[in-house]
Amino acid sequence: MPKERLKWMAAWMALALLVFGAIRYVPEVVTVSTSIDGRELPIYCVDTEKKQVALSFDVIQGNTKIQEILEILAAYKVKATFFVTGEWVESFPEEVKAVCAAGHDLGNYGDKHRDMVRLDNEGKTAELTGVQEKVRKLTGTDMELFRPPYGSYDNAVVHNAMENGYYTIQWSVDSLDWKDYGAEAIVETVCNHKNLGNGAIIRMHNGAKYTAEALKLILAALQEQGYEMVPVSELIYKENYHLDQEGRQIGN
């Protein structure tokens, strides 16, 4: 066989081995995308085949209902997520420790509950780190979930939260408990909501007049429908995901 042909065959064999090796070894790539057409979005809900939903509470008013809410959650063996402000943490440290000790998520709701869209980047960071430092000092835990006060956000708010190690969380089912229409109205709103389904994030408030009364009925109804209620931290994907235009988090 001519030497030139032998060289040609050897080169092709070497190339084939390189290609085969590349196919066999595909490094894991962690990809996260929160942008849709140039808009940065929070996580509103999660695309999942598991029949799970997350129950979340916005905590900014008083402490009179917290113990009752914790007792109801314990009775139904449900873990939830409590988004707390720095001012609330300062005012009610024992309640913060009780939430943490019960195994619930503590989420960041801004140090002074300010509209972060109106703040510069330094102000946004201060709102996040203010709560974080207070919670860490009290409980020794770090938070990773952030809910923008008033539900107000823009690209800069989501970017800043991400840079500070937070997943920005909204909700897909609003209980409207803050309207004080009564416990039955809250139950009806949640349990018959058009967005109630696998991966839904439900929003309630600790200080609303009928929340605790409605909570027992909601938990019973959702469990009867076969839903498992988990903290937001267990519902969401932490890596390898993207969001659709509705803020639904989808695993890659």
User: Is 242 in the active site?
Assistant: no
How confident is the model at residue 24, as a pLDDT? 41
CB 170 within 8 Å of CB 151: yes
Quote the CA–CA distance of 53 and 221 in Å, as a whole number.
13
pLDDT for the residue numbered 217: 97
Q: Could you say which of 58, 111, 174, 177 is catalytic?
A: 58
Instruction: Write down the pLDDT at residue 4.
Output: 56
pLDDT for res 25: 39
The secondary structure of the chain, three-state, reads: CCHHHHHHHHHHHHHHHHHHHHHHCCCCCCCEECEECCEECCECEECCCCCEEEEEEEECCCCCCHHHHHHHHHHCCCCCEEEECHHHHHHCHHHHHHHHHCCCEEEECCCCCCCHHHCCHHHHHHHHHHHHHHHHHHHCCCCCEECCHHHCCCHHHHHHHHHCCCEEECCCEECCHHHCCCHHHHHHHHHCCCCCCCCEEEEEECCCCCHHHHHHHHHHHHHHCCCEEECHHHHCCCCCEEECCCCEEEEC
Predicted local distance difference test score (pLDDT) of residue 35: 79
Domains of the chain, start order: 32-251 (3.20.20.370)
pLDDT for residue 31: 72
pLDDT at position 7, please?
Answer: 54
**Contact at 8 Å (CB) between 232 and 201?**
yes
| Residues 78 and 229: beta-carbon distance below 8 Å | yes
Any idea which residue has 């931290």 for tokens?
Answer: 233
How high is the pLDDT of residue 37?
A: 80
Catalytic residue, chosen from 104, 111, 177, 205, is 205
Low-confidence stretches of the chain (pLDDT beneath 50): 6, 17-20, 22-30
Q: Residue 12: what pLDDT?
A: 52
Backbone angles phi, psi at 54, to 5 degrees: -115, 135
Residue 245 neighbours by CB under 8 Å, 6+ apart: 36, 37, 41
| pTM for the predicted model, two decimal places | 0.87
- Catalytic site residue 58? yes
